[in-house]
Structure 1
């Protein structure tokens, strides 16, 4: 119900596959190409700087620390708070807006609230001094919706959110034609006019930069593991935690009994345990190796086949019915489930309202062989929002609204954006914690947060046990984080490679379920190579080599190493179902 729970769930998206909808592959692709100049993006885009954004194009980072966390972040992990400041800091003495009215297009993985007569929207708009009318679409089909509206830019909303897994083909070309270059307003010290935007870490801004310029406003996401296996700790209070991948299978086998199934699908967890890279890794000889060619990917698929063969996977998961995975877990039918970290809080809130003893915890992050895990650093932002090209007064007012929406935890504005109006959408309990009202259930849904959001914090103060467990878990995992090649870079990848990885989505499912075997993987990899994979490797190799020779690390600037062409090998669409985002479809 509240915005912050779904916030963390969306930060739990992990890169896994390229997604290119049929609609994008048809008319929308052509339209975007027309907007941004047709033809494939040339490798000659200066390989030494392709995808990099100069530091002077990004806002100067200036941290704002209003509240001391109870659990400080470690090496970039999320800080945790056990209480709400009293009194709250008033970030704005008066509404910053000029009274303009604008439209905003955002996704939602939940019940779409009414836009008319909504006291929550009215209150936030009044506090901003800027009226935002939302065009909210189902997050599960948001990619299709984006394709349709981007094909007709004249009908585009003034402010558009694009999740990293929904970036359309040739967006790197079209962005310059459709959306506003924000560097003149925010780059360097210019961001001083918007101090709460300056408080957002640089890595989040990097994820919103294209062609060396800043175009987007970030929705920052968690560092490290954002989607992993959870178990019902209330039903398994004495569980011995697995330390290897084999022990994980033993765990779910042993708990397939007494009317319970051991697990739903665990593909996302498998990719973490086996250290499967998000896209490219660098071989010992300096040659780039694609994830589907790595021994880690092969081993993860082999393990998945063993998992399904064990009989511990719920029949509905075997049938690829992932939409009800969270419900099966929360009802106790299944004792293990992969899901985004934000689902953790949402499930606790939802279930403890009727069963205070309900509990769930993530397994410790492990390496398949029991050694040290490798966790590939996630993008600095899970999604970015873009402002349609407009006059200076419009852009300035919308950036003022963005600065308001970036008000950090500890401010009255943050409380309003995340919980609504006191007395209408929440009351305060004896400890001063917000308790949602019935009206909040229909009116307060994630919306403004998808336009821009402050730095990530864990401030689920009504669940102190969760805050402590979450903070400790993420702090431990921070030690395992490494940056993949091309980190922090949006590279305009030639459009002909947009769907090159698509066959592996179904193949992963088929191998897991025994409908295919590793010989089919070998054949698929050879087809990948001959159908454009070698050309794609050469494209990235040129960029990597040029940047290494030029002194650029290639790691200071997207986990998403080939993100144009809609290639955030993302996962499911961000639904708060808590399903394993590695296998279900959006």
Structure 2
């Protein structure tokens, strides 16, 4: 989607070129690839996070949001959409953008009606590179090393990303901190938890978060099967783990599996561990940072997952299954549950054609005597954020106005455009007034799915499933029960070189170790060696550095 390919060969040589070359842009040279130094905030003045100002012009939700993070629920689509961006934000200039996509390759500029519509709404020319999500980490790392920088860049956690941001991206403190954000009311509508997860860099603000439901991962189930096995109970801890396991065994056999698992995610551990009272990733005890790997609760959860694998509840070839196959098998009822996000729950509900009812199982009562909890997410897409290329003040304000428009809330005309496209082209309305995507938008490479501009800026995600008010109610009820017992990781929003430099490697070490033990390649008795390796490879230094950052943040 580029107006020029004059530097394509340079980018390909740097490893940045993509199979989506038709959607690429000509990057503009920025500063050299130097690092940003100490990214931590300890000992520095801390910029205030943006003031939260909820949007009040839109429809009243059928199910109200809570200040703890329960999503607002809408059982039907708003009938009267309002205008959230009264003036076009752009000045006709070109904006270069990078973001990822999980979906169909977009049609090129001359054939892409969605691109034309959003350019008209924004008042700018968009020069966009869309990169397959599975390649984004690699391409982003190459970009950061190349000395290149688009105007707007989606950041996902990657090695040295914090140093890159500090060295090469625009500091936004004077533009968005505190009440400054009120100049951009749709960005001010983003809840504080998302801003705190995007965090500070050396005490300053650089990133604009892409909000996502804070409830995090959950055990998404086939309601009919789980109800028949007695596994759906009305309250947290309403069923013991042994009874829960018996029900899972009833559902397993003859080529069917109670719990779906795949190559990523370590058998859905982030749903099971909190049932045993395991703290979320990093917790603080007497001022010290403790990683969940070090806790007895984590080992108790791991032991239960080993039992499930030995009983055949997880398929023996789970680590050969990719994400798409895992979802297909859930929809096709080869597996009866999966661990994933609220976004996945909504997408499954939309894709089902009456085969079964999608639901969520509440945490069971563990065998170790702990009180079950629930791990909350960071409240952003992949704990990521959007950064801005360094530029004069007027240019930064333009880019922020564009992001403000993209963050138009649910119930606005702009939200409908950015999320559904153009009526009678990308969607049509059903008898109930819900937007229904056309084949062009679903698989034709023209529409919000293939060109997900929402990965640059977005409104808080509404809890809405077209034509399925019951699915909305089930998810809302689940959130009301688990968010009050939910725990966030203490490291969210904190930055320390010792952690940013080792986090990805430690994550892989943990995942590999869990897979080895669950599949029987190693023994549970080897777990203390895993903890020792974690500390030796950077975990101990990360804990010390994060503790200092946490102490500094508490003084803000």
Q: Assess same fold via TM > 0.5.
A: yes
Once the two structures are superposed, the pairs formed by residues 543-582 of structure 1 within 5 Å of their partners are: 543-544=549-550, 546-547=551-552, 553=554
Match of residue 372 from structure 2: 373
Match of residue 294 from structure 1: 295
1:270, distance to aligned residue in structure 2 (A): 1.5
Match of residue 584 from structure 1: none
Post-superposition Cα deviations, 1:377-431, rounded to whole Å, max 9, x if no partner, equal 4223222111111223322211111111111111111111111101111111222
Match of residue 141 from structure 2: 147
The one of 111, 117, 127 equivalent to 1:133 is: 127
Alpha-carbon spacing, 1:468–1:137, altered in 2? closer, same or farther (3 Å):
same
Alpha-carbon spacing, 1:320–1:272, altered in 2? closer, same or farther (3 Å):
farther
Question: Helix, strand or coil for the counterpart of 1:508?
Answer: helix
Once the two structures are superposed, the pairs formed by residues 46-445 of structure 1 within 5 Å of their partners are: 47=42, 53-55=46-48, 58-65=49-56, 66-74=58-66, 75-116=68-109, 117-154=111-148, 156-163=149-156, 167-208=157-198, 209-224=200-215, 226-241=216-231, 243-265=239-261, 266-283=268-285, 285-317=286-318, 319=320, 323-352=324-353, 356-369=354-367, 372-382=371-381, 383-441=384-442, 442=444, 443-444=446-447, 445=449
Question: Helix, strand or coil for the counterpart of 1:35?
Answer: coil
Q: Distance in 1 between matches of 2:420 and 2:484?
A: 33
Match of residue 496 from structure 2: 491
CA contact (8 A) 2:403 2:457 kept: yes
Question: Helix, strand or coil for the counterpart of 1:172?
Answer: helix
Alpha-carbon spacing, 1:484–1:339, altered in 2? closer, same or farther (3 Å):
closer
Asked if 1:454 corresponds to 2:444, the answer is: no
Q: Distance in 2 between matches of 1:206 and 1:286?
A: 20
Q: Distance in 2 between matches of 1:368 and 1:112?
A: 45
Post-superposition Cα deviations, 1:519-575, rounded to whole Å, max 9, x if no partner, equal 22111222333444333333334444x54xxxx538x8xxxxxxxxxxxxxxxxxxx
CA contact (8 A) 2:271 2:375 kept: no
CA contact (8 A) 1:33 1:173 kept: no
> What do you get for the CA RMSD once the two structures are aligned?
2.7
- Structure 2 residue runs of 5 or longer lacking an equivalent are 1-14, 17-29, 233-238, 262-267
1:487, distance to aligned residue in structure 2 (A): 4.3
Question: Helix, strand or coil for the counterpart of 1:415?
Answer: helix
Question: Helix, strand or coil for the counterpart of 1:72?
Answer: coil
Post-superposition Cα deviations, 1:231-257, rounded to whole Å, max 9, x if no partner, equal 212445534126233333222211113
Once the two structures are superposed, the pairs formed by residues 513-528 of structure 1 within 5 Å of their partners are: 513-528=519-534
Question: Helix, strand or coil for the counterpart of 2:137?
Answer: helix
Q: Distance in 2 between matches of 1:318 and 1:192?
A: 48
CA contact (8 A) 2:169 2:387 kept: yes
Post-superposition Cα deviations, 1:193-244, rounded to whole Å, max 9, x if no partner, equal 21111111122222233221111111112123x2222221244553412623
Post-superposition Cα deviations, 1:12-68, rounded to whole Å, max 9, x if no partner, equal xxxxxxxxxxx99xxxxxx99951256xx49xx66356xx9432xx32221112221
Matched pairs, number: 505
CA contact (8 A) 1:255 1:262 kept: yes
CA contact (8 A) 1:33 1:170 kept: no
TM-score (norm 2): 0.84
Greater displacement, 469-478 / 480-489: 480-489
1:124, distance to aligned residue in structure 2 (A): 1.3
Post-superposition Cα deviations, 1:464-494, rounded to whole Å, max 9, x if no partner, equal 1211111111121121123443444333436
Q: Distance in 1 between matches of 2:32 and 2:277?
A: 36
Alpha-carbon spacing, 1:345–1:541, altered in 2? closer, same or farther (3 Å):
closer
Post-superposition Cα deviations, 1:359-378, rounded to whole Å, max 9, x if no partner, equal 22111133424864323442
Alpha-carbon spacing, 1:261–1:32, altered in 2? closer, same or farther (3 Å):
farther
Question: Helix, strand or coil for the counterpart of 2:464?
Answer: coil
Asked if 1:533 corresponds to 2:539, the answer is: yes
